[in-house]
Structure 1
Amino acid sequence: MTTVDVKSRFEAKLLRPAKPGDDRSWAFVVLPRDASETLPRRGRTTVAGTLNGQPFQATLEPDGQLSHWLQVSRELLEAAGAVVGDVVTLELSPVKKEPEPEVPADFQEALAAAPEARKVWQSTTTLARVDWIHWMTSAKQLKTRAKRIGDACEMLASGKKQVCCFDQSGYYSKAFRAPEADSLER
């Protein structure tokens, strides 16, 4: 876990998501804008840091407001001795080298069937691959995701190394946002 020297230190309230999905054990924090501005990009960004002194590494998500939010796992909550509603102290630094993103199985299959796309995919940067995957997986419907995977293969096969027309911060398209907080926890 190698980080750059930039470090943000701030306090934030742990919030419970109104719609946590199948796993109700996680919480989240929204970064203050000034902390987010120290990060290298408005899109997904991996950081190393501490929550109440407990070390972790995680990928921050864009919130659509030129800031980021952090999903806090049950394990990190327990290790930090924190619960939803607590104000916690966070220290964050961007990692020096963004880790390779996990390639979803459906996209792996599509790449396997498209050798030209796979060749260009392998020559892109890690950050470009993060954006491609984020663009595909951020689709709200399976039909849209399938179309984006097909479009990605076509664009890659034509030599495009970065996804076009994708606002990685969600600011202009409002595609991304932090989860809505449970009304009891605001």
Structure 2
Amino acid sequence: MGKSADPIRFKARLSRPATPKGATWSFVVLPKSASKQLPTRSMVTVEGTLDDAPFQATLEPDGEGSHWLKVSKALREAADVAVGDTVALAIAPVAKEPEPRVPADLRKALAANAAAKATWGDITPVARRDWIHWITSGKKAETRVKRIAVAVDKLASGSRRACCFDRSGMYSKGSMGAPEEAD
């Protein structure tokens, strides 16, 4: 558990996403009362337990003022739970935000621009995560290509944050949100 905060305890239903078909992962939407205890409405990395199985994950905003947790097949099996079960969770924000995984196309673009790479190396893991999320949240391949170019240009000019990016998903309906539950 995180050393910086008391655990937030709640129960929620484990659901299967409607898409993609055949997904092996499942998800939990946090009750708003639990989400309100987190330090931000945007993405937040937590550590905790799902039915006593330990995990660390980044919660994503659901666009409705709460968050959702993607539950891997491995975590579901470790917790010995199934889709449809009501599960007990205890979570707390991590004391130190972990480094995000940088997609290969972004890593290549940063390597090709020394000024952008220097700014990237100087910003916080949360800022890097926000840039990555903004880039990868586009639905079309060409949008992603454009966003990488914009990000590299802005980083090269010293911009430290992705501008005009609704981190909570509450104001840009459709760009963020919990998965739709399968029937």
* Alignment partner, residue 35 of structure 2: 36
Deviation track 1:75-99 (CA, whole Å, cap 9, x = no partner) reads: 1111111000000100110101010
* Residues 143 and 3 of structure 1: CA distance in aligned 2, closer, same or farther (over 3 Å): farther
CA distance in 2, matches of 1:15, 1:92: 19
The aligned amino acid for 2:181 is A
| 2:66 maps to 1:67 | yes
* Alignment partner, residue 9 of structure 1: 9
Q: Is the 8 A contact 2:50 2:89 kept in 1?
A: yes
Q: Is the 8 A contact 1:6 1:94 kept in 2?
A: no
Q: Which runs of 5+ in 2 are unaligned?
A: none
Q: Is the 8 A contact 1:6 1:38 kept in 2?
A: no
Structure 2-normalised TM-score? 0.95
State the 1:20 CA deviation.
3.0
SS in 2 for 1:69: strand
* Alignment partner, residue 18 of structure 1: 18
The aligned amino acid for 2:157 is S
Q: Is the 8 A contact 1:49 1:90 kept in 2?
A: yes
* Alignment partner, residue 102 of structure 1: 101
CA distance in 2, matches of 1:177, 1:123: 30
Q: Is the 8 A contact 1:20 1:26 kept in 2?
A: no
Deviation track 1:124-183 (CA, whole Å, cap 9, x = no partner) reads: 111111101110011111100110000001111111111100011111012201000012
Q: Is the 8 A contact 1:12 1:30 kept in 2?
A: yes
SS in 1 for 2:98: coil
CA distance in 2, matches of 1:32, 1:140: 28
Q: Is the 8 A contact 2:2 2:92 kept in 1?
A: no
Q: Is the 8 A contact 1:65 1:170 kept in 2?
A: yes
State the 1:69 CA deviation.
0.4
* Residues 123 and 33 of structure 1: CA distance in aligned 2, closer, same or farther (over 3 Å): same
State the 1:12 CA deviation.
0.4
State the 1:74 CA deviation.
1.0
* Residues 28 and 150 of structure 1: CA distance in aligned 2, closer, same or farther (over 3 Å): same
May I ask how many residue pairs the two structures share in their alignment? 182
CA distance in 2, matches of 1:161, 1:34: 32
RMSD over aligned Cα atoms = 1.3
State the 1:56 CA deviation.
0.9
